[in-house]
Structure 1
Amino acid sequence: MLPTYTVRESLKAKHVSLKVSVAGSLEVVVPQGYDQTAIPAILQRKQRWINRVTQQVETRQALVGAEPADQLPGQLCLRAIEQDWQIAYCPTPLPGLRAVEQADLKLTLFGQTTDQNACTATLRQWVIAQAHKHLLPWLRTVSQEVELPFETASVRVQKTRWGSCSSRKTISLNCKLLFLPSELVRYVFIHELCHTVHLNHSAAFWSLVAHYEPAYQKLDAGLRDARYHVPLWMEA
Protein backbone atom coordinates (compact mmCIF):
# COMPACT_ATOMS: atom_id res chain seq x y z
CA MET A 1 0.00 0.00 0.00
CA LEU A 2 1.40 3.38 -1.02
CA PRO A 3 1.84 6.08 1.65
CA THR A 4 -0.19 9.28 1.64
CA TYR A 5 1.71 12.07 -0.11
CA THR A 6 1.43 15.56 -1.52
CA VAL A 7 2.88 16.81 -4.80
CA ARG A 8 4.67 20.12 -5.32
CA GLU A 9 5.78 21.40 -8.73
CA SER A 10 9.07 23.30 -8.70
CA LEU A 11 10.57 25.49 -11.39
CA LYS A 12 14.04 24.62 -10.07
CA ALA A 13 13.52 20.84 -9.96
CA LYS A 14 15.19 18.85 -12.73
CA HIS A 15 14.07 15.45 -11.47
CA VAL A 16 11.67 13.90 -8.98
CA SER A 17 12.69 14.02 -5.32
CA LEU A 18 11.07 12.77 -2.12
CA LYS A 19 11.05 14.67 1.16
CA VAL A 20 9.86 13.50 4.57
CA SER A 21 9.08 16.38 6.91
CA VAL A 22 9.76 16.49 10.64
CA ALA A 23 6.07 15.69 11.08
CA GLY A 24 6.50 12.51 9.02
CA SER A 25 4.52 13.67 5.97
CA LEU A 26 5.78 12.73 2.51
CA GLU A 27 6.16 15.36 -0.21
CA VAL A 28 6.97 14.55 -3.84
CA VAL A 29 8.73 17.42 -5.63
CA VAL A 30 8.46 17.27 -9.42
CA PRO A 31 9.56 19.50 -12.33
CA GLN A 32 6.87 21.73 -13.75
CA GLY A 33 4.66 19.86 -16.21
CA TYR A 34 5.78 16.44 -14.98
CA ASP A 35 3.42 13.52 -15.68
CA GLN A 36 2.15 12.81 -12.17
CA THR A 37 0.69 9.45 -13.15
CA ALA A 38 4.26 8.13 -12.95
CA ILE A 39 4.57 8.98 -9.24
CA PRO A 40 3.00 5.78 -7.79
CA ALA A 41 5.58 3.62 -9.57
CA ILE A 42 8.39 5.77 -8.14
CA LEU A 43 6.98 5.47 -4.64
CA GLN A 44 6.72 1.72 -5.09
CA ARG A 45 10.43 1.54 -5.90
CA LYS A 46 11.32 3.82 -2.98
CA GLN A 47 9.04 2.10 -0.46
CA ARG A 48 11.87 0.72 1.70
CA TRP A 49 13.57 4.12 1.84
CA ILE A 50 10.29 5.84 2.76
CA ASN A 51 9.63 3.33 5.55
CA ARG A 52 13.15 3.71 6.93
CA VAL A 53 13.14 7.51 6.96
CA THR A 54 9.62 7.68 8.40
CA GLN A 55 10.69 5.36 11.22
CA GLN A 56 13.74 7.54 11.90
CA VAL A 57 11.49 10.61 12.14
CA GLU A 58 9.15 8.88 14.60
CA THR A 59 12.09 7.72 16.72
CA ARG A 60 13.63 11.18 16.89
CA GLN A 61 10.30 12.76 17.71
CA ALA A 62 9.96 10.36 20.63
CA LEU A 63 13.45 11.23 21.85
CA VAL A 64 12.82 14.97 21.92
CA GLY A 65 9.25 14.62 23.17
CA ALA A 66 7.56 16.15 20.15
CA GLU A 67 3.93 17.05 20.65
CA PRO A 68 1.39 16.03 17.98
CA ALA A 69 1.00 18.63 15.24
CA ASP A 70 -2.76 18.74 15.79
CA GLN A 71 -2.45 19.52 19.51
CA LEU A 72 -1.91 22.98 20.99
CA PRO A 73 1.33 23.08 23.01
CA GLY A 74 1.32 23.36 26.76
CA GLN A 75 4.90 24.55 26.95
CA LEU A 76 7.46 26.27 24.79
CA CYS A 77 11.09 25.38 25.36
CA LEU A 78 13.53 27.97 24.02
CA ARG A 79 16.73 26.00 24.58
CA ALA A 80 18.98 28.64 23.03
CA ILE A 81 18.26 31.11 25.82
CA GLU A 82 17.40 28.54 28.53
CA GLN A 83 13.77 29.57 28.89
CA ASP A 84 10.92 27.09 29.34
CA TRP A 85 7.59 28.89 28.96
CA GLN A 86 4.32 27.42 30.19
CA ILE A 87 1.42 28.21 27.87
CA ALA A 88 -2.16 28.80 29.04
CA TYR A 89 -5.25 29.46 26.93
CA CYS A 90 -7.93 31.80 28.21
CA PRO A 91 -11.06 32.06 26.01
CA THR A 92 -12.77 35.45 25.92
CA PRO A 93 -15.68 36.82 23.85
CA LEU A 94 -13.44 39.46 22.27
CA PRO A 95 -12.40 38.82 18.65
CA GLY A 96 -8.84 37.93 17.75
CA LEU A 97 -6.00 36.65 19.91
CA ARG A 98 -3.23 38.21 21.93
CA ALA A 99 -0.27 36.66 23.72
CA VAL A 100 0.52 38.13 27.14
CA GLU A 101 3.76 37.43 28.99
CA GLN A 102 3.30 36.96 32.72
CA ALA A 103 5.52 36.23 35.70
CA ASP A 104 7.54 33.00 36.01
CA LEU A 105 7.78 32.45 32.25
CA LYS A 106 4.06 32.01 31.73
CA LEU A 107 2.55 32.93 28.37
CA THR A 108 -1.23 33.27 28.16
CA LEU A 109 -3.27 33.50 24.99
CA PHE A 110 -6.48 35.51 25.40
CA GLY A 111 -9.31 35.52 22.87
CA GLN A 112 -10.68 32.97 20.43
CA THR A 113 -8.57 30.10 21.74
CA THR A 114 -10.84 27.47 20.18
CA ASP A 115 -9.35 28.43 16.80
CA GLN A 116 -6.26 26.20 16.71
CA ASN A 117 -4.81 27.72 13.53
CA ALA A 118 -5.10 31.21 14.98
CA CYS A 119 -3.44 30.06 18.22
CA THR A 120 -0.45 28.52 16.45
CA ALA A 121 -0.12 31.59 14.21
CA THR A 122 -0.09 33.80 17.32
CA LEU A 123 2.54 31.61 18.96
CA ARG A 124 4.70 31.75 15.84
CA GLN A 125 4.52 35.55 15.81
CA TRP A 126 5.52 35.57 19.47
CA VAL A 127 8.53 33.35 18.68
CA ILE A 128 9.56 35.69 15.85
CA ALA A 129 9.40 38.64 18.27
CA GLN A 130 11.55 36.72 20.77
CA ALA A 131 14.06 35.98 18.02
CA HIS A 132 14.40 39.70 17.26
CA LYS A 133 14.79 40.38 20.96
CA HIS A 134 17.44 37.74 21.69
CA LEU A 135 19.13 36.48 18.51
CA LEU A 136 20.08 39.80 16.92
CA PRO A 137 21.85 41.24 20.01
CA TRP A 138 23.55 37.86 20.51
CA LEU A 139 24.81 37.90 16.91
CA ARG A 140 26.21 41.41 17.40
CA THR A 141 28.04 40.26 20.55
CA VAL A 142 29.61 37.29 18.77
CA SER A 143 30.52 39.52 15.83
CA GLN A 144 32.41 41.86 18.14
CA GLU A 145 34.12 38.94 19.91
CA VAL A 146 35.52 37.43 16.71
CA GLU A 147 35.98 40.81 14.99
CA LEU A 148 33.99 39.85 11.92
CA PRO A 149 31.59 42.74 11.24
CA PHE A 150 28.39 42.54 9.21
CA GLU A 151 26.19 45.25 7.73
CA THR A 152 22.65 44.37 8.79
CA ALA A 153 20.79 41.37 10.18
CA SER A 154 17.20 40.20 10.06
CA VAL A 155 15.02 37.39 11.38
CA ARG A 156 12.99 35.16 9.08
CA VAL A 157 10.94 31.96 9.24
CA GLN A 158 13.04 29.77 6.97
CA LYS A 159 12.06 26.23 6.08
CA THR A 160 15.48 24.62 5.65
CA ARG A 161 18.28 27.12 6.32
CA TRP A 162 19.33 28.13 9.82
CA GLY A 163 20.96 31.26 8.46
CA SER A 164 22.35 32.95 5.37
CA CYS A 165 24.70 35.75 4.41
CA SER A 166 24.56 37.88 1.26
CA SER A 167 27.36 39.50 -0.72
CA ARG A 168 26.42 42.76 1.01
CA LYS A 169 27.20 41.18 4.39
CA THR A 170 23.54 41.02 5.31
CA ILE A 171 22.86 38.11 7.65
CA SER A 172 19.47 36.43 7.94
CA LEU A 173 18.68 34.22 10.93
CA ASN A 174 15.97 31.59 11.23
CA CYS A 175 13.73 32.33 14.23
CA LYS A 176 13.63 28.57 14.90
CA LEU A 177 17.21 28.82 16.17
CA LEU A 178 15.64 29.66 19.53
CA PHE A 179 14.67 25.99 19.93
CA LEU A 180 18.23 24.71 19.42
CA PRO A 181 20.93 24.20 22.06
CA SER A 182 22.97 27.37 22.55
CA GLU A 183 26.22 25.85 21.25
CA LEU A 184 24.57 25.11 17.89
CA VAL A 185 23.18 28.62 17.66
CA ARG A 186 26.57 30.17 18.32
CA TYR A 187 28.08 27.91 15.67
CA VAL A 188 25.50 29.17 13.14
CA PHE A 189 26.54 32.73 14.02
CA ILE A 190 30.21 31.89 13.48
CA HIS A 191 29.40 30.13 10.21
CA GLU A 192 27.49 33.08 8.78
CA LEU A 193 30.00 35.66 10.04
CA CYS A 194 32.77 33.77 8.24
CA HIS A 195 30.71 34.11 5.08
CA THR A 196 31.28 37.86 5.30
CA VAL A 197 34.88 37.02 4.33
CA HIS A 198 34.37 33.97 2.11
CA LEU A 199 30.98 33.77 0.40
CA ASN A 200 31.45 30.07 -0.35
CA HIS A 201 32.37 26.78 1.32
CA SER A 202 35.95 26.67 0.13
CA ALA A 203 38.91 25.31 2.07
CA ALA A 204 39.73 28.90 3.07
CA PHE A 205 36.22 29.34 4.47
CA TRP A 206 36.38 26.18 6.60
CA SER A 207 39.86 27.14 7.78
CA LEU A 208 38.46 30.45 9.01
CA VAL A 209 35.56 28.67 10.72
CA ALA A 210 38.01 26.30 12.42
CA HIS A 211 40.01 29.27 13.66
CA TYR A 212 37.01 30.62 15.58
CA GLU A 213 35.36 27.27 16.37
CA PRO A 214 37.77 24.28 16.50
CA ALA A 215 34.87 21.85 17.14
CA TYR A 216 33.00 23.00 14.04
CA GLN A 217 32.80 19.53 12.47
CA LYS A 218 30.97 18.09 15.47
CA LEU A 219 28.66 21.09 15.66
CA ASP A 220 27.99 21.01 11.92
CA ALA A 221 26.99 17.36 12.21
CA GLY A 222 24.70 18.28 15.10
CA LEU A 223 22.82 20.71 12.88
CA ARG A 224 21.74 17.86 10.60
CA ASP A 225 19.28 16.59 13.21
CA ALA A 226 18.65 19.96 14.87
CA ARG A 227 15.25 20.38 13.20
CA TYR A 228 13.89 17.74 15.58
CA HIS A 229 14.22 20.27 18.39
CA VAL A 230 11.66 22.48 16.63
CA PRO A 231 8.02 21.80 17.63
CA LEU A 232 5.78 20.61 14.83
CA TRP A 233 3.41 23.57 15.07
CA MET A 234 6.27 25.87 14.04
CA GLU A 235 6.59 24.02 10.74
CA ALA A 236 3.06 24.77 9.56
Structure 2
Amino acid sequence: MPAKQYDPLPGLRGGKNGHTERNSTIPPCTLRTSSRKNRVTLTITRRDGLVLVAPEYFDTSGVPKILERRTEWILRTIAAMQAKYPDFDPWNPPTIPPLLDLRCLDEQWQVDTVFQSAQKNPALRINAGHRLLLRLQEQPDNDQSDADQKPIGLTDANLETTRSLLNRFLVRKAKPILPDILAEAARETSLHFSRCQIRTQSTRWGSCSARGGISLNAKLLFMPRRLVRYICIHELCHTQQLNHGPKFHKLVRQMLPEVDTLEKELHSAEALVPRLLA
Protein backbone atom coordinates (compact mmCIF):
# COMPACT_ATOMS: atom_id res chain seq x y z
CA MET A 1 0.00 0.00 0.00
CA PRO A 2 1.83 3.14 -1.20
CA ALA A 3 2.08 6.01 1.27
CA LYS A 4 2.51 9.75 0.82
CA GLN A 5 3.03 12.37 3.51
CA TYR A 6 0.99 15.58 3.59
CA ASP A 7 2.09 18.67 5.52
CA PRO A 8 -0.24 20.19 8.13
CA LEU A 9 -2.85 22.61 6.90
CA PRO A 10 -1.60 26.19 6.52
CA GLY A 11 -2.95 28.98 8.68
CA LEU A 12 -3.27 26.99 11.91
CA ARG A 13 -0.98 27.30 14.91
CA GLY A 14 0.42 24.75 17.34
CA GLY A 15 -0.58 24.59 21.00
CA LYS A 16 1.72 25.00 23.99
CA ASN A 17 3.44 22.20 25.91
CA GLY A 18 2.41 19.59 23.36
CA HIS A 19 -1.30 19.93 24.07
CA THR A 20 -3.72 20.45 21.20
CA GLU A 21 -5.83 23.58 21.36
CA ARG A 22 -8.75 24.84 19.29
CA ASN A 23 -6.41 26.47 16.77
CA SER A 24 -3.63 23.88 16.94
CA THR A 25 -1.91 22.71 13.81
CA ILE A 26 -3.10 19.29 12.79
CA PRO A 27 -0.25 16.77 12.32
CA PRO A 28 1.07 15.57 8.97
CA CYS A 29 -1.22 13.05 7.30
CA THR A 30 -0.02 9.86 5.66
CA LEU A 31 -2.06 8.92 2.59
CA ARG A 32 -2.33 5.23 1.75
CA THR A 33 -4.18 3.84 -1.24
CA SER A 34 -5.74 0.40 -1.39
CA SER A 35 -7.38 -1.57 -4.20
CA ARG A 36 -9.75 -3.03 -1.60
CA LYS A 37 -11.08 0.36 -0.50
CA ASN A 38 -14.13 1.93 -2.13
CA ARG A 39 -14.35 4.94 0.18
CA VAL A 40 -12.05 7.28 2.10
CA THR A 41 -11.40 6.62 5.80
CA LEU A 42 -9.46 8.79 8.26
CA THR A 43 -7.89 7.22 11.33
CA ILE A 44 -5.45 8.16 14.07
CA THR A 45 -3.29 5.38 15.46
CA ARG A 46 -0.79 5.50 18.29
CA ARG A 47 2.07 4.29 16.12
CA ASP A 48 1.39 5.94 12.76
CA GLY A 49 -0.48 9.10 13.75
CA LEU A 50 -2.95 10.57 11.25
CA VAL A 51 -3.62 8.22 8.32
CA LEU A 52 -6.00 8.61 5.40
CA VAL A 53 -6.76 5.42 3.44
CA ALA A 54 -8.35 5.88 0.03
CA PRO A 55 -9.15 3.93 -3.16
CA GLU A 56 -6.39 3.78 -5.76
CA TYR A 57 -8.30 6.14 -8.07
CA PHE A 58 -8.61 8.81 -5.35
CA ASP A 59 -7.82 12.40 -6.40
CA THR A 60 -5.17 13.46 -3.89
CA SER A 61 -5.91 17.13 -4.45
CA GLY A 62 -8.90 16.67 -2.18
CA VAL A 63 -6.83 15.71 0.88
CA PRO A 64 -6.48 19.25 2.37
CA LYS A 65 -10.24 19.83 2.23
CA ILE A 66 -10.92 16.50 3.95
CA LEU A 67 -8.47 17.34 6.72
CA GLU A 68 -9.89 20.83 7.14
CA ARG A 69 -13.42 19.45 7.36
CA ARG A 70 -12.37 16.92 10.02
CA THR A 71 -10.14 19.25 12.06
CA GLU A 72 -12.44 19.25 15.11
CA TRP A 73 -12.51 15.44 15.21
CA ILE A 74 -8.75 15.21 14.64
CA LEU A 75 -7.90 17.55 17.53
CA ARG A 76 -10.42 15.91 19.86
CA THR A 77 -9.08 12.42 19.08
CA ILE A 78 -5.46 13.53 19.51
CA ALA A 79 -6.27 15.02 22.92
CA ALA A 80 -7.91 11.76 24.04
CA MET A 81 -4.96 9.67 22.85
CA GLN A 82 -2.43 11.99 24.50
CA ALA A 83 -4.29 11.51 27.77
CA LYS A 84 -4.11 7.73 27.42
CA TYR A 85 -0.63 7.34 25.92
CA PRO A 86 2.12 9.58 27.35
CA ASP A 87 4.40 8.85 24.37
CA PHE A 88 1.79 9.66 21.71
CA ASP A 89 3.17 12.30 19.35
CA PRO A 90 1.44 12.39 15.95
CA TRP A 91 3.73 15.21 14.78
CA ASN A 92 6.77 12.94 14.86
CA PRO A 93 7.48 9.29 14.02
CA PRO A 94 8.01 6.80 16.85
CA THR A 95 11.52 6.48 18.21
CA ILE A 96 13.57 3.45 19.24
CA PRO A 97 12.66 2.62 22.86
CA PRO A 98 15.76 2.84 25.10
CA LEU A 99 14.34 0.17 27.40
CA LEU A 100 12.08 -2.87 27.04
CA ASP A 101 10.34 -3.41 30.38
CA LEU A 102 9.07 -7.00 30.21
CA ARG A 103 6.91 -7.03 33.34
CA CYS A 104 5.63 -10.54 32.75
CA LEU A 105 9.19 -11.82 33.07
CA ASP A 106 10.34 -9.22 35.61
CA GLU A 107 13.11 -8.28 33.17
CA GLN A 108 14.35 -4.97 31.79
CA TRP A 109 16.38 -4.90 28.59
CA GLN A 110 18.42 -1.85 27.64
CA VAL A 111 18.42 -1.11 23.91
CA ASP A 112 21.62 0.38 22.43
CA THR A 113 21.89 1.44 18.80
CA VAL A 114 24.89 1.70 16.47
CA PHE A 115 24.97 2.60 12.79
CA GLN A 116 27.06 0.70 10.29
CA SER A 117 27.88 0.61 6.61
CA ALA A 118 24.95 0.05 4.26
CA GLN A 119 26.78 -3.03 2.95
CA LYS A 120 26.19 -4.80 6.29
CA ASN A 121 22.84 -6.33 7.16
CA PRO A 122 20.92 -4.93 10.15
CA ALA A 123 20.96 -7.21 13.17
CA LEU A 124 20.03 -7.46 16.82
CA ARG A 125 22.63 -8.83 19.22
CA ILE A 126 21.69 -10.13 22.66
CA ASN A 127 24.43 -9.26 25.15
CA ALA A 128 25.01 -10.10 28.79
CA GLY A 129 23.39 -8.00 31.47
CA HIS A 130 20.04 -7.73 29.70
CA ARG A 131 21.41 -5.50 26.95
CA LEU A 132 20.37 -5.48 23.30
CA LEU A 133 22.54 -4.03 20.55
CA LEU A 134 20.77 -2.84 17.41
CA ARG A 135 22.99 -2.60 14.34
CA LEU A 136 21.26 -0.44 11.75
CA GLN A 137 22.28 0.81 8.34
CA GLU A 138 23.65 4.31 8.37
CA GLN A 139 21.56 6.94 6.66
CA PRO A 140 22.95 9.56 4.27
CA ASP A 141 23.35 12.97 5.93
CA ASN A 142 19.94 14.30 6.89
CA ASP A 143 18.75 17.61 5.57
CA GLN A 144 18.95 19.98 8.53
CA SER A 145 15.38 21.14 7.90
CA ASP A 146 14.23 17.62 8.78
CA ALA A 147 16.21 17.45 12.00
CA ASP A 148 13.22 18.36 14.15
CA GLN A 149 11.10 15.62 12.56
CA LYS A 150 13.17 12.56 13.52
CA PRO A 151 16.57 11.87 15.10
CA ILE A 152 19.47 11.78 12.65
CA GLY A 153 20.05 8.26 11.33
CA LEU A 154 16.51 7.04 11.93
CA THR A 155 15.10 6.65 8.45
CA ASP A 156 11.68 5.11 7.96
CA ALA A 157 13.49 1.97 6.78
CA ASN A 158 15.53 1.86 10.00
CA LEU A 159 12.40 2.24 12.10
CA GLU A 160 10.70 -0.60 10.24
CA THR A 161 13.83 -2.73 10.61
CA THR A 162 13.97 -1.97 14.33
CA ARG A 163 10.31 -2.91 14.74
CA SER A 164 10.89 -6.22 12.95
CA LEU A 165 14.03 -7.09 14.95
CA LEU A 166 12.49 -6.22 18.32
CA ASN A 167 9.30 -8.15 17.50
CA ARG A 168 11.39 -11.21 16.66
CA PHE A 169 13.15 -10.81 20.01
CA LEU A 170 9.80 -10.64 21.79
CA VAL A 171 8.57 -13.79 20.06
CA ARG A 172 11.78 -15.58 21.03
CA LYS A 173 11.32 -14.56 24.68
CA ALA A 174 7.58 -15.33 24.68
CA LYS A 175 7.65 -18.83 23.21
CA PRO A 176 8.96 -20.57 26.36
CA ILE A 177 6.71 -18.55 28.70
CA LEU A 178 3.26 -17.71 27.32
CA PRO A 179 2.27 -21.30 26.38
CA ASP A 180 3.11 -22.36 29.95
CA ILE A 181 0.91 -19.59 31.41
CA LEU A 182 -1.88 -20.67 29.06
CA ALA A 183 -1.48 -24.33 30.05
CA GLU A 184 -1.58 -23.42 33.74
CA ALA A 185 -4.76 -21.39 33.19
CA ALA A 186 -6.28 -24.33 31.30
CA ARG A 187 -5.61 -26.66 34.23
CA GLU A 188 -7.13 -24.17 36.69
CA THR A 189 -10.30 -23.69 34.65
CA SER A 190 -10.64 -27.21 33.20
CA LEU A 191 -10.84 -25.63 29.74
CA HIS A 192 -8.82 -27.14 26.93
CA PHE A 193 -7.03 -25.85 23.84
CA SER A 194 -5.52 -27.72 20.90
CA ARG A 195 -2.35 -25.69 20.34
CA CYS A 196 -0.74 -22.34 21.13
CA GLN A 197 0.93 -19.98 18.67
CA ILE A 198 2.94 -16.84 19.47
CA ARG A 199 2.62 -13.87 17.11
CA THR A 200 2.92 -10.07 17.12
CA GLN A 201 -0.58 -8.94 16.19
CA SER A 202 -1.28 -5.23 15.86
CA THR A 203 -4.80 -5.10 17.29
CA ARG A 204 -5.38 -8.23 19.38
CA TRP A 205 -3.85 -9.64 22.54
CA GLY A 206 -5.03 -13.09 21.56
CA SER A 207 -7.43 -15.08 19.42
CA CYS A 208 -9.07 -18.51 19.39
CA SER A 209 -9.98 -20.62 16.37
CA ALA A 210 -13.00 -22.86 15.95
CA ARG A 211 -10.68 -25.85 16.47
CA GLY A 212 -9.48 -24.58 19.83
CA GLY A 213 -6.16 -23.20 18.66
CA ILE A 214 -5.11 -20.13 20.63
CA SER A 215 -2.79 -17.40 19.39
CA LEU A 216 -1.16 -15.09 21.94
CA ASN A 217 0.53 -11.77 21.26
CA ALA A 218 4.22 -11.70 22.21
CA LYS A 219 3.70 -8.09 23.36
CA LEU A 220 1.87 -9.52 26.37
CA LEU A 221 5.35 -9.69 27.89
CA PHE A 222 5.03 -5.97 28.62
CA MET A 223 2.02 -6.73 30.85
CA PRO A 224 1.96 -7.83 34.50
CA ARG A 225 1.49 -11.58 34.74
CA ARG A 226 -2.02 -11.29 36.22
CA LEU A 227 -3.18 -9.54 33.03
CA VAL A 228 -1.49 -12.17 30.87
CA ARG A 229 -3.38 -14.82 32.84
CA TYR A 230 -6.61 -12.87 32.27
CA ILE A 231 -6.05 -12.85 28.50
CA CYS A 232 -5.34 -16.58 28.57
CA ILE A 233 -8.56 -17.34 30.45
CA HIS A 234 -10.48 -15.01 28.13
CA GLU A 235 -9.25 -16.97 25.10
CA LEU A 236 -9.85 -20.32 26.82
CA CYS A 237 -13.48 -19.30 27.32
CA HIS A 238 -13.68 -18.83 23.57
CA THR A 239 -13.08 -22.56 23.17
CA GLN A 240 -16.61 -22.91 24.59
CA GLN A 241 -18.18 -19.75 23.17
CA LEU A 242 -16.53 -18.29 20.04
CA ASN A 243 -18.54 -15.05 20.16
CA HIS A 244 -18.82 -12.33 22.80
CA GLY A 245 -22.44 -13.04 23.66
CA PRO A 246 -24.04 -13.29 27.11
CA LYS A 247 -23.03 -16.94 27.53
CA PHE A 248 -19.39 -16.04 26.91
CA HIS A 249 -19.37 -13.18 29.43
CA LYS A 250 -21.14 -15.35 31.98
CA LEU A 251 -18.44 -18.01 31.59
CA VAL A 252 -15.61 -15.46 31.92
CA ARG A 253 -17.18 -14.01 35.06
CA GLN A 254 -17.59 -17.51 36.46
CA MET A 255 -13.86 -18.09 35.98
CA LEU A 256 -12.83 -14.55 36.98
CA PRO A 257 -15.27 -12.75 39.31
CA GLU A 258 -12.89 -9.75 39.24
CA VAL A 259 -13.13 -9.46 35.44
CA ASP A 260 -14.34 -5.82 35.50
CA THR A 261 -11.26 -4.71 37.43
CA LEU A 262 -8.96 -6.70 35.17
CA GLU A 263 -10.56 -5.22 32.05
CA LYS A 264 -9.96 -1.68 33.32
CA GLU A 265 -6.34 -2.55 34.15
CA LEU A 266 -5.86 -4.03 30.70
CA HIS A 267 -7.23 -0.90 29.04
CA SER A 268 -4.70 1.25 30.93
CA ALA A 269 -1.85 -1.23 30.45
CA GLU A 270 -1.95 -0.86 26.67
CA ALA A 271 0.32 2.17 27.16
CA LEU A 272 3.04 -0.14 28.54
CA VAL A 273 3.88 -1.28 25.01
CA PRO A 274 6.41 1.12 23.41
CA ARG A 275 4.88 3.22 20.65
CA LEU A 276 7.17 1.79 17.97
CA LEU A 277 5.86 -1.72 18.73
CA ALA A 278 2.19 -0.81 19.27
Superposition TM-score, scaled by structure 1 size: 0.81
Call closer, same or farther: CA 1:51–1:92 in 2, change over 3 Å. closer
Of 95, 101, 104, 1:77 maps to: 101
What is the Cα deviation at residue 59 of structure 1?
A: 3.5
Call closer, same or farther: CA 1:186–1:112 in 2, change over 3 Å. same
The residue type equivalent to 2:42 in the other structure is L
Greater helix share, structure number? 1
What is the Cα deviation at residue 10 of structure 1?
A: 5.3
Call closer, same or farther: CA 1:166–1:6 in 2, change over 3 Å. same
The DSSP-based 3-state class of the residue aligned with 1:197 is: coil
> Which residue matches 2:164?
121
Contact 1:162 1:177 in 2 (8 A): yes
Higher deviation after alignment, 124-133 or 164-173:
124-133
Instruction: Give matches, 1:45-56, under 5 Å.
Output: 45-56=69-80
Deviations 1:149-171 (A, max 9, x none): 10011011111111110101111
Calculate percent identity across the aligned residue pairs: 32
Instruction: Give matches, 1:197-236, under 5 Å.
Output: 197-235=240-278
Report the aligned-residue RMSD.
3.1
| Alpha-carbon distance between aligned partners in 1 of 2:135 and 2:33, rounded to the nearest angstrom | 38
| Alpha-carbon distance between aligned partners in 1 of 2:267 and 2:65, rounded to the nearest angstrom | 29
What is the Cα deviation at residue 120 of structure 1?
A: 4.3
Higher CA-based Rg: 2
| Alpha-carbon distance between aligned partners in 2 of 1:38 and 1:187, rounded to the nearest angstrom | 45
Structure 2 unaligned spans of 5+: 1-8, 10-25, 139-152
Deviations 1:33-88 (A, max 9, x none): 55655544443232112112212333433379xxx855433211012222222233
Higher deviation after alignment, 126-135 or 219-228:
219-228
Q: Which runs of 4+ in 1 moved over 6 A?
A: 90-94
| Alpha-carbon distance between aligned partners in 2 of 1:161 and 1:175, rounded to the nearest angstrom | 11
> Which residue matches 2:16?
none
The DSSP-based 3-state class of the residue aligned with 2:101 is: strand
* Equivalenced residues, count: 230
The DSSP-based 3-state class of the residue aligned with 2:214 is: strand
What is the Cα deviation at residue 195 of structure 1?
A: 0.3
Instruction: Give matches, 1:133-148, under 5 Å.
Output: 133-148=176-191
Contact 2:114 2:133 in 1 (8 A): yes
| Alpha-carbon distance between aligned partners in 1 of 2:225 and 2:108, rounded to the nearest angstrom | 14
Call closer, same or farther: CA 1:199–1:35 in 2, change over 3 Å. farther
Deviations 1:94-113 (A, max 9, x none): 9442422413xx22327557
> Which residue matches 1:43?
67
Superposition TM-score, scaled by structure 2 size: 0.70
Call closer, same or farther: CA 1:108–1:142 in 2, change over 3 Å. same
Alignment of 1:99 with 2:125, yes or no, is: yes
Higher deviation after alignment, 9-18 or 94-103:
9-18
Contact 1:22 1:227 in 2 (8 A): no
Contact 1:24 1:58 in 2 (8 A): no
Instruction: Give matches, 1:153-232, under 5 Å.
Output: 153-232=196-275
Higher deviation after alignment, 81-90 or 92-101:
92-101
Structure 1 unaligned spans of 5+: none
The residue type equivalent to 1:138 in the other structure is I
| Alpha-carbon distance between aligned partners in 2 of 1:147 and 1:80, rounded to the nearest angstrom | 23
| Alpha-carbon distance between aligned partners in 2 of 1:216 and 1:12, rounded to the nearest angstrom | 38
Call closer, same or farther: CA 1:21–1:186 in 2, change over 3 Å. same
